[in-house]
Amino acid sequence: MSDGIDIRPISEDEVDDFLRRVEAGFLTVSSDEELEREKLAFERDHALAALDGVTIVGTTSAYSLEVTLPGGAPVAMAGVTAVGVAPTHRRRGILRSLMETQINGLVDRGLPLAGLLSSEAPIYGRFGYGVAEEHRYTTIDAPRFALGVKMAELADEIRIEAVPITRTDDELIDVVGPFWERHRLTQVGELGRSDDAWRAKLSTLPKDRFEYLAGRGDDVVGVAMVNAKVDWIGAVPDGSLRATVAADDDVARAALVAFVSRVDLVRSVSLATPVDDPLRWAVVDRRAIRTDRVDDHLWLRVLDLPAAIEARRWATNGSVILGVDDPLLSANSGTWKLVVEDGWAQLDRSQAEPEITMSISAVAPLLTGAASPHTLTASAAIRGAPDALERLAGMARVDRAPFCQTGF
């Protein structure tokens, strides 16, 4: 790029410097041990640095991940991470150069999707990313929380077990890893994690952590990871838990949430939930569950439009002519005919007049079902004739909101 800044891959010798610069961008400093753990999951061949002379002033990288789309097929996704520009070099176009180089490089590798978690919502839309999943951040007033009679009966069959606090990270991965591998394929929006990614992740989590498993018969069907903080107001305990709860089904999830809400000394439990969380419909007192925020979480960038569209399962058969605008990747731009048969799509070039037009960033919520074509039209993100929108809405329909609890 101009301005004396070079964008290039990094050598093995530059890895430590690169990772230290990434951390500085996020205003943190890790110990040497944490850095070594981070290196376990680091993929150097995905790393790009912006250099001012010999100094790294900008970074981006990616993990090789898979995301689950409707229909359950895992789709390759570059999990973009480590994005930062030095405070001394901000707002000079370095991020733009990094993003453009990265996106073109990922296309050359044949990847259909890139995904990221954004530190600030306004940054990535300009590079074609769109919101593919949201989190409903929730706080439970623990003493008031109780499952309704019907859910409580069902949840009775779930056995909750504590993972011994003496376990090592590797022992935890042995139990949670196989559960996660099954679970993530049933959860639209969720990502696969390698054992190394688990190790790197666990090393960044606070050590005062408790884990609980939900069992049905001999199977592990859910996991809760919990951090506790107990304050005392005079002699009165005022404990709060931050929980991450994942389960194969809603009964196991309800059982885990009910369990952590009943831990002694605890007054509140915070956790992220899907936006359409059924738990609010399964409790005695729904006002015991407060929504603090609903925020964007997983963003997707479509790199190969036909591959991405054809990777998800669609709800109804039909066809529609789409006009897509992608300022960075001309191969995605233009007019396409989307035909769905037996639930699977084919996307081909078309000479017809588009019935619905959208920018590439609006394809992200359509892929996962984070927003319907009707919602996207109402928000002016897509435009089209009512009958075409009705057809696309039928095809794109999903029964449940996507949910991704994997940080990267």
Ligand X SMILES: CC(C)(COP(=O)(O)OP(=O)(O)OC[C@H]1O[C@@H](n2cnc3c(N)ncnc32)[C@H](O)[C@@H]1OP(=O)(O)O)[C@@H](O)C(=O)NCCC(=O)NCCS
Measured between alpha carbons, how far is 336 from 321 in angstroms, rounded to an integer?
A: 6
| Residue 373: its H or E element | helix 373-378
| Residue 122 backbone phi and psi in degrees, to 5 | -75, -5
Tell which one of 5, 75, 95, 358 touches ligand X (CB under 6 A). Answer: 95
| Residue 163 backbone phi and psi in degrees, to 5 | -75, 130
**With CB under 6 A as the contact rule, which of the stretches 30-38, 79-87, 248-256, 327-335 interacts with ligand X?**
79-87
Q: Does residue 122 touch ligand X according to CB under 6 A? A: yes
Q: Which is nearer to ligand X, 95 or 243 (CB)?
A: 95
Q: Which is nearer to ligand X, 82 or 158 (CB)?
A: 82
**With CB under 6 A as the contact rule, which of the stretches 91-99, 292-300, 302-310, 318-326 interacts with ligand X?**
91-99
**With CB under 6 A as the contact rule, which of the stretches 8-16, 84-92, 106-114, 356-364 interacts with ligand X?**
84-92
Q: Which is nearer to ligand X, 129 or 180 (CB)?
A: 129
CA distances from 145 to 137, 175, 293, 374 (A): 17, 29, 20, 35
Measured between alpha carbons, how far is 4 from 1 in angstroms, rounded to an integer?
A: 7
| Residue 69 backbone phi and psi in degrees, to 5 | -105, 165
Q: Does residue 83 touch ligand X according to CB under 6 A? A: yes
Q: Which amino acid is at 321?
A: I
Tell which one of 13, 32, 108, 120 touches ligand X (CB under 6 A). Answer: 120
Q: Does residue 26 touch ligand X according to CB under 6 A? A: yes
Q: Per residue, what are the HEC states of 60-74? A: EEEEEEEEECCCCCE
For the chain, the straight-line distance linking the first and the last C-alpha, in angstroms and rounded, comes to 28
Q: Does residue 94 touch ligand X according to CB under 6 A? A: yes
- The edge-to-edge listing of strands for the beta sheet with 266-273 is 159-162, 209-216, 219-233, 236-247, 266-273, 134-141, 289-296
Q: Does residue 78 touch ligand X according to CB under 6 A? A: no
Measured between alpha carbons, how far is 237 from 266 in angstroms, rounded to an integer?
A: 7
Q: Does residue 4 touch ligand X according to CB under 6 A? A: no
The answer to whether residues 392 and 317 touch, using CB atoms and an 8 Å cutoff, is no
**Residues contacting ligand X: total by CB under 6 A:** 18
Give min distance, CB of 254 to ligand X, in A: 33
Tell which one of 21, 37, 46, 92 touches ligand X (CB under 6 A). Answer: 92
Q: Does residue 290 touch ligand X according to CB under 6 A? A: no
**With CB under 6 A as the contact rule, which of the stretches 82-90, 310-318, 328-336, 342-350 interacts with ligand X?**
82-90
Q: Which is nearer to ligand X, 201 or 312 (CB)?
A: 201
- Residue with the two structure tokens 């099954």: 182
Ranges within 125-184 binding ligand X (CB under 6 A): 126
Q: Does residue 232 touch ligand X according to CB under 6 A? A: no
| Residue 130: its H or E element | strand 129-131
Within 13 Å, how many C-alpha atoms sit on residue 239's CB side? 16
Tell which one of 68, 118, 273, 332 touches ligand X (CB under 6 A). Answer: 118
**With CB under 6 A as the contact rule, which of the stretches 122-130, 162-170, 302-310, 373-381 interacts with ligand X?**
122-130
Nearest to 389 by CA among 403, 378, 401, 404: 378
Tell which one of 8, 9, 16, 90 touches ligand X (CB under 6 A). Answer: 90
Tell which one of 54, 91, 217, 330 touches ligand X (CB under 6 A). Answer: 91
For residue 170 the two structure tokens come to 């590797």
Q: Does residue 79 touch ligand X according to CB under 6 A? A: no
Residues that bind ligand X (CB under 6 A): 25-26, 83-85, 90-96, 118-120, 122-123, 126
